[in-house]
Amino acid sequence: MASAALINFSEEHIIRLLSYSHIYSFPPCPEIIQYAYDTRTRLQAWIGGRDTNNKRGKPVERETRLAAFRLESVLESYVSSHFISESQILDVASAMKVREEIIFFAETAKKLVEQFGYLPQQPEEDDHVVVLSGTDHIEGKKSKMFGLDDELVQLKDWLLKDTPELQAIPIVGMAGIGKTSLAKEIYEDPDIVSHFECRAFVSVGRYYKEEKILQDIQAQMNHETDGMRCLIVLDDVWIDEIWFELPRFSGNKENGSRIILTTRLEEVSESGIRKRMRLGKFVLKKQFLNQQESWLLFCDKMFGGDHSSCPTELEEAARKIVNKYEGLPLTIITVANHLLQAEQTPEYWMQVQKKVHTDIISADKETSQVLYRSYKHLQLYLKPCFLYMGVFPHDANITASKLTKLWCAEGLLEPSIGKASLEEYDAMEYLQELVSANVVKVRQRNSSGGIKTCNIYPVFWHICMKEAKEHEFFHVIDSNNNQGIESQHRYCIHNNALFGIKDVRKSMTSFSHVRSILCTGPQHQYPVRISLCFSLLRVLDALTIRFYFFPSEVVKLVQLRYLAFTYNGKLPASISKLWNLQY
């Protein structure tokens, strides 16, 4: 994801700098700033076509990211100091510092390009390994199916319709919800087996080749299929272009042949309707298990299917554990496998119930691999937006309008200078793409059907936090572990009471490079001590903190784009000095 972090070096900020007339007071500043902009643009174009997630390139990639942050700090410091002092006198030392940092950034970026230019593109981990998208890889033996009855009836009705036209039916849903299990169940159904004269079940994956799929289909059918009614299952589809290949895979028959696709991406299922109306008339959205179905699946794994076999002393903890996983079969099976190998005591099970459930999921390598592929597949421009959602507590109900404004203020979108409303529209499109990729959950919709509140699916929380930590995307401040905070540009606080701890305040105030402070914990009715001595601050989200007196330091934060705090008094006229403020 390093690439995404680099691209977020603020193009908008450089464009703004190029428009400041008083910056032109030291030659050749316009040219050197334009050089920075050109370098950033070339780097973005180069990164967009590559995956720099390569262990050999990690050090130089981090060096380039830090160089970009350094340059941004120097540029913003220069503008802020000129604005606050209102002086037209040339600060030669600051001007030379700007020049030096631009040259340093350009040279570091060049080193990154040169290093990766000579490194072969290494295939990703799942390029040569077929990873089932369902739960089969961790089940060991074939488990009983739960919660499939209605979906099987619907699928069977579509498959057995007395229409000669070739039909393709996508099964869509998030990772681990049981798409593959459902497809296998219908594939082996006796009525389906007798209806279709030849069948094939092929795993596609992210990097499929048409010829390989054709070979796999032909190998399974193993005989001449002309005139025969065929059923083909294409499991784990990631690319919507596959719709154009479907007639080729099926032999373009008009004899009642059917194709089932399983996919995590709503974009893939919807494109069948957009691009191939004749093929894509039906879509089955795989549903989560309800509480009873989740309980039955858990008991099947733990006690051989007899839910009455759950010891009485374990049942309370067991039901709480099951409910915590919100009906996702993959995670219910994972936690059951964990408990099978652990202490069968109420005390231990209650410990498991109280844990953030991603601890267990992240500890299971195969489960993590299945989930991680959803993140890796996200478009480069979506990854920072996904990671940003980690600044909120894992169980937060995030207001979509606030989230998209924060994305805009942080510069996570392509800039639209003077077009804030258009930028917010783009941000909402980004959010919809994350929802369509089944990594973000819609909690509520507004009266017009738009997204009102949302959050990350709990199973992706550990991925979000792991990636954010690795790429220094943000730092969650707590009372225990604030090491490495000096390299962070974005602080988030999930518990506002931490401002009352002297060591926490000291660790925050000792660094002037902070760009964002986000207080995303519960509402705090009583005043807390919060320092605002961050001259480069762009985002201050402290809505859950009450100020009884207007914090005068705010009007000096000339880089602020987003400001939110609770204050019942009258705003001073000096608030107009915040000329960058957007939200």
pLDDT in tens, 371-422: 889 998 898 889 999 999 999 988 889 999 999 999 988 888 865 544 445 6
Does the global pTM surpass 0.85? no
Q: Are 492 and 474 in contact (CB under 8 A)?
A: yes
Q: What is the mean pLDDT of residues 538-565?
A: 84
Q: What is the mean pLDDT of residues 201-221?
A: 85
What is the model's pLDDT at position 502? 67
Q: What is the mean pLDDT of residues 115-143?
A: 45
What is the model's pLDDT at position 440? 94
What is the model's pLDDT at position 446? 92
pLDDT in tens, 233-251: 999 999 887 877 777 777 6
CATH number for the domain formed by residue range(s) 2-118: 1.20.5
Q: What is the mean pLDDT of residues 198-223?
A: 84
Q: Could you give the C-alpha distances from 7 to 11, 41, 44, 79, 329, in angstroms and in order?
A: 9, 9, 6, 22, 37
| pLDDT bucket at 68, cuts 50 / 70 / 90 | low
CATH number, domain 378-471, options 2.60.40, 1.10.10, 1.10.15, 1.20.120: 1.10.10
Selected residue with higher pLDDT from 156 and 42: 156
| pLDDT bucket at 135, cuts 50 / 70 / 90 | very low
Selected residue with higher pLDDT from 164 and 184: 184
| pLDDT bucket at 501, cuts 50 / 70 / 90 | low
220, 237, 533: which is closest to 373 by C-alpha? 237
Selected residue with higher pLDDT from 350 and 226: 350
What is the model's pLDDT at position 25? 46
Read off the tokens for 537: 């601050």
Distance CA 573, CA 576 (A): 6
Helix, coil or strand: residue 66: helix
The answer to which of 157-171, 298-312, 519-533 has the lowest mean pLDDT is 519-533
CATH number for the domain formed by residue range(s) 148-285: 3.40.50.300
What is the model's pLDDT at position 136? 45
Q: What is the mean pLDDT of residues 86-104?
A: 61
What is the model's pLDDT at position 138? 41
| pLDDT bucket at 436, cuts 50 / 70 / 90 | very high
22 pLDDT exceeds 80?
A: no
CA 177 to chain centre: 18
Name residues whose C-beta falls within 8 Å of residue 464's C-beta, 6 or more positions apart in sequence: 386, 387, 389, 390, 456
What is the model's pLDDT at position 264? 93
Distance CA 286, CA 263 (A): 10
Percent above pLDDT 70 for the chain: 63
Read off the tokens for 518: 């986000």
51 pLDDT exceeds 60?
A: no
Helix, coil or strand: residue 462: helix
Alpha helices by DSSP H, 175-234: 179-187, 190-195, 210-221
What is the model's pLDDT at position 93? 60
